[in-house]
Structures are given as structure tokens and as C-alpha cells.
Structure 1
Amino acid sequence: MINLLSNDTIQKIAAGEVIERPASIVKELVENSIDAGAKNISVEIIDGGKSYIRVSDDGHGIKADDIELAFTRHATSKIKEFDDLYSSFSMGFRGEALASIIAVSKVTVKTKNIDEDLASHVEFDNNKMVENKSIAMNTGTSIEVFDLFKYIPVRQKFLSSDLSEANKITQLMYIFAIGNPHISFSYIRNNREVFKTSSKSTRDINYETMFGKDFIENSIDLSFESNHYKVKALVSNNKIYKGNRSMQFVYVNGRYIENKDIADSIERAYSNLIPSGRFPLYDIKIEVDPSLIDVNIHPNKQRIKFSYLDELTDILYKKIYDGLMEANLPKTIKKVEKEDSLISFYDLNQGDGYKRVLDAYKQPADVKDYQPKQSQPLENFFEEESKEDVDFEDLEHITWPNNVSEYESFEVYDNDTDSSEEENIQTSFDLEIEDIRAIIFNRYILIEDFENKNLKIVDINRAKQKLIYEATINNEENISQDLLKPIIVNLSNSELNIFEENKDLFNDLGYDIDLFDESSIAIRSIPYYFDQPSNIENFRSLLDDISSYEKDKKDKVLRSSIAMASSGTNNLSIGQAQVLIKELSKLDNPYTTENGQSIIYNLSRDEFINILNK
């Protein structure tokens, strides 16, 4: 039997395709405000937009006679016929947004057209108009949306957490604010202002609000054109980057788009200039004849087709690469007054954090009473990796003969144990410290297994990571070390919000951080395991990690933090490598890190010979 669906059912099905989540509503309403010529747009959400969304503007408003029609499917003021699709500069044009919103929630509309004396107050509930009256208000429109998917409860179950849904809206608001500097935006989340931009402010002030002060100080301004494209871009240099792509914005004729080919061409320009797994920040605005693009290939209109895509990707790569190279030319040295050097994690940790890891693993009580020694500050806090050897002299007393062939006479003494206790230490994974043959690439320890004719390869970074993790989780409280001088970190509004939402988590991980001013934080204590130079980007990476986790947040961020502390240059001697292997041997599972990465690799003699003979 074939049934003819009711109009209400048809509209709810169609609405489900347009309105996927709260961010979909915000997107549609803000785009309508932009198309209405608004100069000021305010967005407020509660509970990630699930229970309440309000979008207000000072645009030209909707005429009283057009309100009911405006909330009917396929009613639009943007186009009249099909050919208009390829010459339209408006944000939306299909006329489905408003009709879809009233089909899935309760909606209140207040609007006044510029040509009318009174405004209209209209309420929709369950896809029907339930109230329509005249009120007094300024020109513009305010739309409130209550209880998303109230009439499609099955859809509510598929929404993410309030935090996740709110983060999607926050990212969307950044897209609108950065792409429309001629409009003032205000974004309020759970009764708290997240950011506010002003069309009357300078470009740099608004960029500082959105991206943070460091971006302004480390950005490259570019303007160029080709046969079919005009491009204005502000891109980060190689001194600032993020752990994700959340601060990458591309606009075509004012519309935010996502295009993998464009993103790949831009990131290719940064190849070998920023660390692997890190991403540049940029705002790129492209102008092109509308007839050369197709914006009607996806419902959200964020994916478009280009007639001359290769031309665009080539010029983006070349100009950004050239800009980066020019920014990295040797600078003329000028004599300046000596300033106080910035403090690094290394000098504030006094070089013996690794000892505290091992001590914490063996005797947690001793670590609580540990008082770090004074040391001289490093010259540059922003240095990516340490060029200094890790000081293991405080860890173990090591003696070995001058002739490395005499491995049999090696003796390793532990400050906390006598030699008789040392004899009881067993290498449960069959790695004998006297069989260490070499350290290569400052990363791997090579150990020869004579009995099995194998070569064991130990990843130093992962071994340290495992030791630190085990030491940390085996202590009831996280041990911090106070910094001699607070580290001041400038953050964007988005990063500040992430920090404030997770301040307790940072405290639990061993950080002591508080707000320094309206755009920066002061780091006063750090976890004890930071024993080598770090940089501000590492902390930003932690913020990126936190924002992407919904479950097991503390453990995942702890792992990220420890991985950062464990990475870098490892200028170990053979004796120092012995200490590392000995401590690794005490673990129940020395073979993999806490997240399953291999620490020890096995290469048989036959496999080794086969590799050489290939």
C-alpha cells in the first residue's frame, strides 16, 4: 500500500536534512542577517544551543505582510530564476532555512522593516503560527529558537554533548567574524561573552581578539592576483602554529569554504618550516567571477567547484612560500640594550626533573620533599629543542673502564641502594645493560642480544615517556615545581575560554595557572617531569588537545603533556643509556607506552643481513 505523506511529515523530513544540529540554525540565521545588510549581529546560546538560541541584527527587517511567507519552504528574496544561482553573492538562496527551523523547534520572531512604523511579534510552535501581533522596536530582526528537535525527539539522542555542540557554534562564529570585518559581532555563551568585534576597530585589534596577540606579531600580510583570482591573505610565519586546523579560514567572495586542494597547497608551503603535525594559521580571502564557481553542490554551501582550481592552488603555494622565505632572510644585527631573557621550562626545572621521575617511581615520599637546585636561565624560551645534555650525574653514580670492550667490568650503583641490592635487579625483558653497543640519531639505543643473535632497538623518547607516565600515575598527587619567574602567555579569546573551562584539569595535572590580564595567562608552576626546553606552542597544543576530547580528558591530556616533555634531543652517553634501560627493566610492561606505541624493537641477524644485501 502506498501512502501520501502529509505536508507536516514532509516538512519535518526535509528539515532534518537542513538542520543537523544547533550550529546549523546559527549558520542559517546569521547568514540571513548578513544578507539583510546588518551592521551589528549578536548571537547567544545556552546549553550548546540545544535549549536556546537567539540571533539579533539591525538589518532591514521583514515586512509584516511577508513574515508568514518567509517561513514557507522555497520562499526567498535572494533569487528569482535558476540562472541567478551563478551570479548571486548572497549567503543563502534556497529558502529552506526558516521553514526548517519552525518544523523542529519553537520559534519567536521580532522584526521591523525599515519602511514600516511598527514591528511584528510572531510565534511558531509545531510548524504552525500561534501568535502574530504588533510591537515597538528598532529596525532589524531578532529570532529566538527554543528546545531544538522538540517535535523530533529521536534526533535529540544523536546530538553531542553541550560542550561539543557549543564548540561547533564557537568555530562557526569565528568564521563569520573573521570573514566579515565590516560587521560588528557579539557572541554570548551560557550568559558569558566569548568575544566581541567592532567594525570601527582597526584590523589588527579584531585579529588580536580572534587569533591572539602572538599571531599579529608573527604574521605575514600578502596581496596578489592571477588571471582569474584576486587574493588577500594574512598568514602565520614559522614561529607560531597550532596542533589542529581550527585557525585556518578561506573565503571565496565572502563565503567561507572548505577545500582540501587549497588547504594542501598552503600547508605545502610550510613543509620543513614548522614541526610535523603542526598547522599554520591563516585568513585568506579570494575574489573570483561568480560564473567561474559553483556553490550549489552541497547543502551547507561550504564546498564549491572552481573552473580554474590549479591556477589558484599554484599561486597560493608560490606566494605564501615566497613570503615565508622572505620573512626568514637573515636580519641585520643591531646593537641593542640587553633585556631580561625569557625563562624556559628547562632552567625553571633546574635540569634534574628526570631524577624526580625515577625517584617518584621508586620512593614517592622523597619526591614531595625534593627541593630543586638553582641554575642559570637559558637564553631563549622559544628554542624548540635542547642542545644541552641531560644531566644524569645526580641520578646515578656510574663507573666504567676506559676500554669499551671491557663491558664485563661495568658496574652501576644507585644512590638509594647498596651494591648488594643492585645484584637483585633483574632485566625481565632480557636486555643486559652491558650489551649496549651504540646510540644512533640521538634517539635509539642499540643492544646486542648474543644468545638469540638479535639486535634490540630501544626508542629513548618513548622509554622516557613510559617511565614518566608510570611515575605520575603511581603518585596520589601530581608534583609541581614552582617557576622562578611566571611565564606569561598571550591567548586568543577562544584559547582563553578553553583554559577557563578546564582550569581545574590543569591544576590536577600539576600546573598552577591564573589569568594575568584580559588576553593572557600566567603559568606559575609546571609538572615536575619537564626537564628540557619547551615552548609556548606546546601549551597551546595542550589547549587544542583539551578542546578535542570529550571522554577521559585528564588521562589523554596527561599523555600529551608527558609526550611533549619526553620528546626532543637526547644526547645520552653509554652510561646514561644504561640508567634508562635499568629503570625500564623494573616496569611490568616495558615493551609499549601507555597508548600502545612500541618502545623496544627486535631485528634478527638474518633480517639485518637481508636489509644490507638489498
Structure 2
Amino acid sequence: MAQIKVLDSLVADMIAAGEVVERPASVVKELAENAIDAGAGKITVEMKNGGVSFLRISDDGSGITAEDLPTAFLRHATSKIEHAEDLIAIGTLGFRGEALASIAAVSRVEVFTKPKEQQFGMYLSMKAGKIEDSHEAGCPDGTTFTVRDLFFNQPARMKFLKKDAAEAAAVQDVVIHLALGNPEVSFRLISDGKEKLHTPGDGNLKNCIYAIYGREYANQLVELQYTDAGVTVTGFCGTPAIARSTRSYQTFFVNGRLVKSRGMTATLEQAYQDGMMKGKYPFGVVLVSLERSLTDVNVHPAKLEVKFSNEKAVMSAIYWAVKNALYGATYQPEITLQEKKKEETPEPLEQEVMIPSVREKTEKPSFVPKWTEPVKKEVLPEIVEKKDDQRQPSLQQPVAEIKAEPSQQKETEQPKTVVTPTDENCEIRILGQLFQSYIVAERGEEMLLIDQHAAHERFLFEELLRQRESNHPITQTLLMPVVLDMTASDFAAVQEQLTFLSSVGFELEEFGDHAYRLTGAPISNEGQNAETLFWETYRAIQNAGDRGTTESELLYSIACHKALKANHNLHPREMEQMVKDVLNLPSTCPHGRPIVITMTKTMIEKQFKRIV
């Protein structure tokens, strides 16, 4: 049995660094938060190659004294707390005393620092956690950290870093969030010699938003100001005019600390639920303030999570802050100008449909989910009534399909009889839909239960796979290209997936900073417009994971994301087409779940004790 030993301090620091320092953005977050705690009014972040080879964070804060500088790099050395009671009401962004030791353990670090009251500053250099040089130096007030060759002594960690553009985007996201949470501090970001961001630092959050996101957003903001039960909510939310297809434009702070909270996200979106188009997410910079003793931020090393002693009061305050702000705003809701046309009775369908041979591929997707034309309605001036099944015909939807939409058929139309390709004398008779999730059919002396989601998922996957293997995706050129504005991190993620997106039918070209122009998109049989289809595909790729995901797994995720869900009512014609398609598919969905369950007449009669 191996002997139990106390780990060497350097090894312990490297282990701790795994929790605190994941990527260059982690270094920027920790050092910039230290600068804010030191009372800095200006913070400059410089990086090269996404911050992996070079990072410099400079501030004009209080600096570190010559006596404290070596101590600052020891584990659990901090000036921000001293007693256990201090953890109850933490008033600083940093407090663990782990950041500097963790950063120094996995990089080469240089520090210039000078308190305002001292004539000379100090210089210190470290490599892999060990001090190499330390002496007096002339330098400006404040502190400048230079971090080089991150993870140079941990090659395995380098494998988990993304491309330089993605790492640079992650750093930019950190700086943006810190700037939004601290508008009184001027932030400047320089990447590979180019200035990417510069906020005024005048304490005006709206001016900060303008500097980061531009005039389009700043002109569509609604101010938040609400207090209840000891919880104060301030900040800004956006009108539906600047709603986006991702949640990347939602930022939450608790007592000045950036937090990630599904509850806050859901509450913000719930306040918009009557006025937001499906698939769109509101813009918001929400700052929550409450007694520090009522929160616990000592939950995770990254300090992105927070617990509340009264979470219900916090969520209620956010909801009513946003709701009251929206109802007091004067934005114009989006109203469709199309009037509902009278239903036309199409030609009756043939009573018998011949199905092509098994595994034969069709030229295009062959069944269409139900689409209902929107009806113009009177609405409140601030909030537009939301209809989950409201969809517009798009440029990607063939004209012939729009004219023959199954939703325009008479609801009294009966399910049709389908002939199987294997035996023309053995018909499949569609009986109906069960639980709005399963198609019930009869074939000879068998009853078939077809999972509509699994069937549609497999169908979409096979179509995507066929296009991918043929290298000739079915793409429709858009008459009016769509400009896709996105955050730096989304832009970098799309950049990494350009080849894959092109292979499934998207045509994209860069269009200024952090934007792409969409000039072509796959033909959508769900009646989606090109922008919605792109963002749904992008979210599916993101949900599939990052490094190590195969192209097949990405196709699985896209197919699953786009497939019909359970609890979706199908028209008889849709069920008929789905049954035809099922006969040409493998027996399972891409995730391995069965598509069809078969029960013979004998099995059923045994259940009823007709056969012993």
C-alpha cells in the first residue's frame, strides 16, 4: 500500500489552478476583479494570440506594497477577509486568496506595482510558481501584471484550449461583463494591437451599453428601477425590437458580481412572454442589490453562482421590475399585416398511395409539420399576443408546398390507407394519433405505434447525412440577405464551424465586426425563415458540445433539435406521409430509441384472454 504524504506546495498550487484557471479568460477575470477591488478607475487588458502567449492587465488602483508583494502569491493569502464572520457579508469580488498562486503556478508572471504614497515601485518575476527576481523599479501608480506562456508546464491543459479567435472572444466577453457591472471604471481591450473595446467609465450604465453594443441597442433601452422586500433591481432591458436569437445578450449581477442563474433568465423571459416572438430572447443588463448577509457567493471557485436566503423575493423583484418597465415603455409591437384567407377545399386525395422501395431517398423532405396562418388581432400597445403555433411562410419553403399546406385541408378528412412496398396486398391503415405523440396504424394482423418525434428525427438525420456525403447540400439563395449580429464569443464559435455549416446548406460571409451576412440557407420544410433556421442549427451545435464532438453527433443534435416534438397535433395527411417515410427508415432514431413498436393480433387477444 502506498504511503500517504502531504503534497508539495507547487503540486498543490497546480491542482488548485485547475479549478481557478481554465483558460486566458479566467486569468483576465481574476486580475481585473482584483483591480476593481483595489479601487481602479481605469483598467487596460492587452492580449496576443487569444491571451495564451501574452496577457497584460494594467490598472491605476492602490497597488501592492513591497512587503506584501511576495506574500500575495502564497495560497490563501488575501487582504479582503480575515475572520470566518467576514464570509457572511463579502463586499469584494475576490476573497479566496487563490488566484495569484494559481496563475503563477502555470505561467510566467511579471509584476510592476506602486502604491500612490510611495516614491518607488516594485518588480517581481515568477516562473511556475517560483520567484526568479525581485527589486525596486520605477513605474506608474497601480499594478501591471504580465502573464506569458499560459500552461507551458502543463501541455495536457493546452489540448483543451480552443482556437485563438475563440479564446480572444472569451476574454472580450469577460471584459464586457466586468464593464457592465462596473460602469464607473473605464475598460480598454486591445487584441493583437487593435483596440476592441473602450468604455467611458463615467458611471452611466447606458453610456457603457452604448460603447459596447452600439446605438441600435442604446436607443431601444427601458430603464429598470424597482424595490420590494429589501431587494432593489436596476439596469436596463431592451424592447422587443432588439430581441435576439440567443441569450448571449442577457447579463445579471448580484451586488456587483456577475452571476449565471437559470432562475433569473427564466424570470426575465417570463416578463416578456406576452410580447416576444417565439425563438427570440430579450436584451437585459439586470443589477440586483440586497443585504450581503442574505446571499452566499462562496459556492464555486469561479464565483459565478450565488444562493439567496429568499430566492422567491429576488425573482419577484426582477419580474415586476421588467414588467413595470415594459408597460411604461412606448415601443411599437410587431403586427402582421396578413389577413387570414378563407379556407379552400383542395382536391380529394387518392385513396391509395404507392410507396417507393425500402431505403429509397426522396429528392426533398416529404412531410411538413402543421402550419397555421396568423390572424391579425387587437393587442395592447406594449405587449403582442404570443401564439406558439404562429409561423410565416419563408423563402426557403417551396411555393407548391405552401399552396398544398396540410393545415388547409378539412379537419374531417379521414386517414388514408397506405400500401407497403414489401407486399402490395398488405395495406397499412392509419387509425389516428395517440396522446398527440404517437401514430396508431393497422397492418394486416399487426398494430403499429409510431413515435412521431423519433421518426421525424431519423428522417431529418438521414437527409442531413445524405447532403453531407454528397457534398451538394440543397441551398436556397436568399433574395434579401440577412445580417446576423452576434457577440464576440458567438462570432468565434460560428467561425470555427463555418465548414460544417456550409456542408449542411448555409452560405455565410463576414460582414464587419462580429457579424455575418447569410446569403443562402437549407430549404426548410418547417416553414422557418432563414434567420430562425440558422440560430436553431447554431444552438443545436452548441448543445452538442465543443471539442471531441464528431460530425455525426452534430447531425444528431441538429436533427433532434429540429424534429417534431411530442404533444404536437398532426393532420391526417401528415400522419400518412410520416408512415410512408417510416417504412424507408432504419428501425431506430439516431439515439437508438425504437421508431415503431409492433403488437400482433395474437398478442392483443392474449391480453383479453381470447387465447389461452
- Using the size of structure 2 for normalisation, the TM-score is 0.71
Is residue 101 of structure 2 the alignment partner of residue 99 of structure 1?
Answer: yes
Superposition deviation, residue 199 in structure 1: 2.8
Q: Out of 467, 482, 500, which is 1:487 matched to?
A: 482
For 2:107, the aligned partner's letter is: S
Is residue 434 of structure 2 the alignment partner of residue 436 of structure 1?
Answer: no
Whether the 8 Å CA contact 1:109–1:122 is kept in 2: the answer is yes
Whether the 8 Å CA contact 2:112–2:143 is kept in 1: the answer is yes
Whether the 8 Å CA contact 1:241–1:537 is kept in 2: the answer is no
For 2:290, the aligned partner's letter is: V
Is residue 580 of structure 2 the alignment partner of residue 585 of structure 1?
Answer: no
Q: Out of 442, 450, 466, which is 1:448 matched to?
A: 442
Whether the 8 Å CA contact 2:177–2:251 is kept in 1: the answer is yes
For 1:540, the aligned partner's letter is: W
Whether the 8 Å CA contact 2:467–2:504 is kept in 1: the answer is no
For 1:586, the aligned partner's letter is: N
Return the alpha-carbon distance in structure 1 between the equivalents of residues 437 and 490 of structure 2. Answer: 33
In structure 1, runs of 5+ residues without a counterpart are 342-357, 368-377, 396-402, 412-424
Return the alpha-carbon distance in structure 2 between the equivalents of residues 476 and 469 of structure 1. Answer: 11
Bigger mean CA offset, 4-13 vs 36-45: 4-13
Q: Out of 505, 523, 526, which is 2:500 matched to?
A: 505
Superposition deviation, residue 69 in structure 1: 3.5
Whether the 8 Å CA contact 2:56–2:144 is kept in 1: the answer is yes
Alignment-derived partner of residue 349 in structure 2 = none
Alignment-derived partner of residue 353 in structure 1 = none
Return the alpha-carbon distance in structure 2 between the equivalents of residues 463 and 191 of structure 1. Answer: 48
Q: How does 1:122-141 map to 2 (within 5 A)?
A: 122-141=124-143
Q: Counterpart of 2:445 in 1: which secondary structure?
A: coil
For 1:141, the aligned partner's letter is: T
Change (3 A) 1:174 1:603: farther
Superposition deviation, residue 91 in structure 1: 1.6
Q: Out of 310, 314, 328, which is 1:308 matched to?
A: 310
Return the alpha-carbon distance in structure 2 between the equivalents of residues 22 and 406 of structure 1. Answer: 60
Size of the aligned set, in residue pairs, is 552
Q: Counterpart of 1:144 in 2: which secondary structure?
A: strand
Q: CA RMSD in A?
A: 5.2
Q: How does 1:280-299 map to 2 (within 5 A)?
A: 281-299=283-301
Return the alpha-carbon distance in structure 2 between the equivalents of residues 5 and 566 of structure 1. Answer: 52
Change (3 A) 1:552 1:48: same
Q: Out of 88, 91, 98, which is 1:89 matched to?
A: 91
Q: Counterpart of 1:99 in 2: which secondary structure?
A: helix
Return the alpha-carbon distance in structure 1 between the equivalents of residues 307 and 415 of structure 2. Answer: 69
Superposition deviation, residue 219 in structure 1: 6.0
Whether the 8 Å CA contact 1:212–1:490 is kept in 2: the answer is no
Alignment-derived partner of residue 109 in structure 1 = 111
Alignment-derived partner of residue 156 in structure 1 = 157
Superposition deviation, residue 231 in structure 1: 0.9
Is residue 521 of structure 2 the alignment partner of residue 526 of structure 1?
Answer: yes
Change (3 A) 1:291 1:157: same
Change (3 A) 1:428 1:199: farther
Bigger mean CA offset, 37-46 vs 166-175: 166-175
Alignment-derived partner of residue 550 in structure 1 = 547
Superposition deviation, residue 143 in structure 1: 0.9
Change (3 A) 1:454 1:212: farther
Superposition deviation, residue 53 in structure 1: 3.1
Q: Counterpart of 2:57 in 1: which secondary structure?
A: strand
**Per-residue displacement from partner, 1:520-548 (whole Å, max 9, x unpaired)?**
43211112445623263443343444454
Alignment-derived partner of residue 225 in structure 1 = 227
Q: Counterpart of 1:89 in 2: which secondary structure?
A: coil
Change (3 A) 1:511 1:118: same
Bigger mean CA offset, 194-203 vs 562-571: 562-571
Superposition deviation, residue 71 in structure 1: 2.9
Q: Counterpart of 2:501 in 1: which secondary structure?
A: helix
Whether the 8 Å CA contact 2:186–2:201 is kept in 1: the answer is yes
For 2:101, the aligned partner's letter is: A
Superposition deviation, residue 225 in structure 1: 0.5
Change (3 A) 1:500 1:194: farther
Whether the 8 Å CA contact 2:233–2:321 is kept in 1: the answer is no
Return the alpha-carbon distance in structure 2 between the equivalents of residues 580 and 7 of structure 1. Answer: 64
Q: Counterpart of 1:232 in 2: which secondary structure?
A: strand
Change (3 A) 1:56 1:540: farther
Return the alpha-carbon distance in structure 2 between the equivalents of residues 456 and 546 of structure 1. Answer: 27
Is residue 170 of structure 2 the alignment partner of residue 172 of structure 1?
Answer: no
For 2:441, the aligned partner's letter is: I
Change (3 A) 1:14 1:273: same
Bigger mean CA offset, 466-475 vs 437-446: 437-446
**Per-residue displacement from partner, 1:484-505 (whole Å, max 9, x unpaired)?**
2212333333333333343343
Change (3 A) 1:559 1:93: closer
**Per-residue displacement from partner, 1:16-49 (whole Å, max 9, x unpaired)?**
6654554443322111111122233233455665
Change (3 A) 1:61 1:332: closer
Return the alpha-carbon distance in structure 1 between the equivalents of residues 5 and 486 of structure 2. Answer: 58
Return the alpha-carbon distance in structure 1 between the equivalents of residues 84 and 276 of structure 2. Answer: 46
Return the alpha-carbon distance in structure 2 between the equivalents of residues 530 and 458 of structure 1. Answer: 16
Return the alpha-carbon distance in structure 2 between the equivalents of residues 458 and 65 of structure 1. Answer: 70
Alignment-derived partner of residue 55 in structure 1 = 57
Return the alpha-carbon distance in structure 2 between the equivalents of residues 195 and 599 of structure 1. Answer: 51
Change (3 A) 1:131 1:567: same
Change (3 A) 1:447 1:297: closer
Change (3 A) 1:603 1:276: farther
Change (3 A) 1:509 1:585: same
In structure 2, runs of 5+ residues without a counterpart are 339-355, 365-373, 377-385, 405-411, 608-612
Whether the 8 Å CA contact 1:458–1:600 is kept in 2: the answer is no
Change (3 A) 1:218 1:431: farther
Change (3 A) 1:60 1:407: closer
Superposition deviation, residue 246 in structure 1: 4.7
Return the alpha-carbon distance in structure 2 between the equivalents of residues 311 and 528 of structure 1. Answer: 46
Return the alpha-carbon distance in structure 1 between the equivalents of residues 484 and 173 of structure 2. Answer: 22
Q: Out of 32, 38, 41, which is 1:39 matched to?
A: 41
Whether the 8 Å CA contact 1:447–1:455 is kept in 2: the answer is yes
Change (3 A) 1:279 1:453: same
Whether the 8 Å CA contact 2:536–2:561 is kept in 1: the answer is no
For 1:25, the aligned partner's letter is: V
Q: How does 1:567-586 map to 2 (within 5 A)?
A: 578=576, 581-586=579-584
Q: Counterpart of 2:511 in 1: which secondary structure?
A: strand
Alignment-derived partner of residue 72 in structure 2 = 70
**Per-residue displacement from partner, 1:174-196 (whole Å, max 9, x unpaired)?**
43232122223344566666544
Superposition deviation, residue 451 in structure 1: 1.7
Whether the 8 Å CA contact 1:456–1:603 is kept in 2: the answer is no
Alignment-derived partner of residue 350 in structure 1 = none
Whether the 8 Å CA contact 2:172–2:488 is kept in 1: the answer is no
**Per-residue displacement from partner, 1:559-610 (whole Å, max 9, x unpaired)?**
55566766599998756765554454334x1x444444654455788989x9
